[in-house]
Structure 1
Amino acid sequence: MITSDLGWRESELGSFKILLRKFDITPVQKEALLRASWALLYAHYEGFVKFCLTIYYDTICSTIDAREKLSERLQHTSLRSEFKSARSLPDTELVKFILEFENKQMKDRPAFGEVETQSNLWPSVLDTLLREADLETQGISQYHSKLKVLVARRNSIAHGDKNFIKEVDYYLGFENDVYSVMYILALEIDRKINEINV
């Protein structure tokens, strides 16, 4: 499933790459294609991260029958909505929640909310999402500076700023690095899903 999702994303970005490599496009067309490619690259980066984490959480929910069987970090993540609800309980209800916690919430099937990227998947947001999912992806940190530029420039383009990318090779360097991040994430999710299914 992750491979097919990555495949259609690569095909779509590849279509833009073919257009960018044509010799018969004008400078204005080239600039427009580069801006569109940049915005699309960001969209696929964010979309793929959300897709992978959703698949991962769905696999956990359908395979693991009790929160107590999860790592401590995943327990915290899966309990987030319960903790949020408990904060607003009257005192008597809160005491009941606390007393029943180990026998109820920890025995319940895990549940995770929607993967939230805060509309801007900055490296710090990505790191938080990966940490909450208990994923080991240290290899992604080497791409933080490129991801910051990706998000900032995408925001600039999305807000209609005159932010031009002049060279195809400059864009392609970012595309390659985003693919590296996506591959690292895909491999780690695949590894964790295989552990769950053993």
Structure 2
Amino acid sequence: MTNALIVIDVQESFRQRPNWAAVSNPEIVEVTNELVAAAREQGDLVVWILHTEPGSGGPFDPSSPHVRLIDGLTPRDGEPVLTKTSRNAFTTTNLQQLLTQRGIRRLLISGIQTEQCCETTTRLAADLGFEVTFVTDATATFPIPHRDAPADRSLAELLADPTTLTTDQIVARTEYALAGRFATIATVAELTRPAAATSIGG
């Protein structure tokens, strides 16, 4: 086993926020399960990550019942479930140690959010020497307001603002930033079709 699928923050916390109605990939659970099934079939490790914000009192607070995988995602016995407090999946967990001890050198990245925890994890993983595949259509994100936009606007107002960065723009920017530098970009179909039965990372 030299490959691992990292599933980042596909958790109920996000569904408690108003902007979930504008999520880029409503099928995130289904596509995640496709990748997980392919990884398990190939004997690759699946690592689940959950994000927490201790003391925040919100849906990411570890005392909240929402810090759990979205219904439909179920880790198997032996699949690590790590809890982080940083944007990337390495800094506040033992992920690097876990992967190194198992001889894993190739990572497949999926989860929420495309440009935040997924992209940041990818960049750090590449710097640590891992070979990374970023599965964009197995990630999800949300529109981003301009830095000068009022913080208390409704979702409708956010979406109507021409200065808001759309999810399509976010996804495209992330792919441009990562491709050829930090990761190979791949689709779920490319990684799960029969002809791709080599191994998750290549």
- What is the TM-score of this pair, normalised by structure 1? 0.31
Write 1 or 2 for the structure with the bigger share of strand: 2
Write 1 or 2 for the structure with the bigger share of helix: 1
- What is the TM-score of this pair, normalised by structure 2? 0.31
Q: Quick check: which has more Rg, 1 or 2?
A: 1
